[in-house]
Amino acid sequence: MVTLADIKAARALVMPFIHRTPLLRSGSLSGITGADVYIKAEILQKTGSFKVRGAFNKIASIGKGNVAAASMGNHAQAVAFAARRLGMHALIVMPKTVSIVKEEATRGYGANVELYGENFQEALDHALTLDGYTFVHAYDDEQVIAGQGTVCLEIDDDLDGIDAVLVPVGGGGLIAGCAVAIKEAFPKTQVLGVQAQAAPSAFLSLKEGVPVSTQPLHTLADGIAVGRVGEKTLPLIKKYVDEILTVGEETIAMSILLFMERSKFVVEGAGAVGLAALIENKERFRGKRVVLIASGGNIDLTLIDRMIYKGLLTSGRVVVFEVTADDVPGRLEALAGIIASHRGNILNVVHDRLLADLPIGKTRVIFIVETRRPAHLDEIVGEIEARGYEVKKRV
């Protein structure tokens, strides 16, 4: 089992190569959640996530030769980066379905990339068979776990009196290392894991006491969509972690948006689940000093507009509603006038009189409107209804 001494040794080894990331208090997130919120900014880490910590510690222990890994995300970039800095060669196996952005980022850090298989499991099975390469596991490895634990040694050094640390959990490498680093030094601080409801393997495994496999569903937190918690991480989680919480997609979307808008941080879904847990459990954390590990910032830029839009929708700042009305000239202008008179900002309008469910002589207009808060929407819809139109809010 990984010990505090292992994590301290990892720190001495990896620090010359990586950033010591800041722990920043967020006044605005504290205001929104009612907790005293601090953010460990691993988004500012080399390669954009904490993963380089474990990768360096592991690859340095191998020392020379070739390393291989299978990954669709942050681990790929971390292994590529660490191998090059340590003068070694890395081969990363990715499924053929990987996004071009991730493939190119990994090549950009100097690794060879082999595209193999239709999904992650097929890529992983292939990587494990490669001759002449030492395999670097993304989480189920003691050196990797010790490396990830250095995140929380830094938190220990930077802040006193922490009530809880919220840690994103995929295979469990980060939380296993963090839990040792925190509980061995500050047993009263709670260490809480967070997973997406769509991929709850560690959550279920901690409940059952044995590794439970799940088939992850689609989630914005794709970096932690792991089907099975590690064999080496679970015993540490069982020994040290107080609880694992799960969060919904809508709160993850809202959290990505809040990080961007309030903290000016680009945090990927996997890194935003701690804030999502805080939002979903406000009463539990009210007045408590809480650290969120913003574990990575590698959002696929081709998806960022959809994430922002979903976040705006779920926080009620952009709303979609449809109005059914008599199909006579001037209707659209009248409806737009009502919205404008309440200072709603129309972002888009779809006007369709050919829908199958519409009686002849009726028309339907779908509005996408920017509003200030949910009560503002009620004001607008209330007046449209009062003028005799039929309105349906869309979710």
Ligand X SMILES: Cc1ncc(COP(=O)(O)O)c(C=O)c1O
Active site residues: 51, 295
The contact set with ligand X (CB under 6 A) reads: 49, 73-75, 138-139, 148, 168-175, 223-224, 226, 268, 270-271, 295-296
Provide, rounded to whole angstroms, the least separation between the CB of residue 58 and ligand X: 12
Provide, rounded to whole angstroms, the least separation between the CB of residue 283 and ligand X: 26
φ/ψ of 169, rounded to 5, equals -125, 125
Measure the N-to-C terminal CA separation of the chain; round to a whole number of Å.
Answer: 48
Q: Which two tokens stand for residue 393?
A: 């809010």
Q: Taking each helix axis as running N to C, give the angle between helix 51-62 and helix 142-158, from 0 to 180 degrees, rounded to the nearest 10.
A: 130
Provide, rounded to whole angstroms, the least separation between the CB of residue 255 and ligand X: 13
Q: How far is CA 160 from CA 42, 163, 241, 289, 291, in A?
A: 19, 9, 19, 9, 11
Tell me the C-alpha distance between 318 and 31, whole Å: 22
Tell me the C-alpha distance between 93 and 127, whole Å: 6
Closer residue to ligand X (CB): 205 or 295:
295
Q: Which of 318, 317, 307 is nearest to 366 (CA)?
A: 318
Closer residue to ligand X (CB): 83 or 151:
151
Closer residue to ligand X (CB): 212 or 365:
212
Q: 271 pairs with which residues across the strands? A: none
Tell me the C-alpha distance between 237 and 319, whole Å: 41
Task: Give the residue closest to ligand X by C-beta.
Answer: 296
Provide, rounded to whole angstroms, the least separation between the CB of residue 226 and ligand X: 6
Beta strands 66-70; 89-94: pairing state: parallel
Closer residue to ligand X (CB): 145 or 365:
145
Does an H or E element contain 125, and which?
Answer: helix 120-128
Provide, rounded to whole angstroms, the least separation between the CB of residue 381 and ligand X: 39
Closer residue to ligand X (CB): 179 or 279:
179
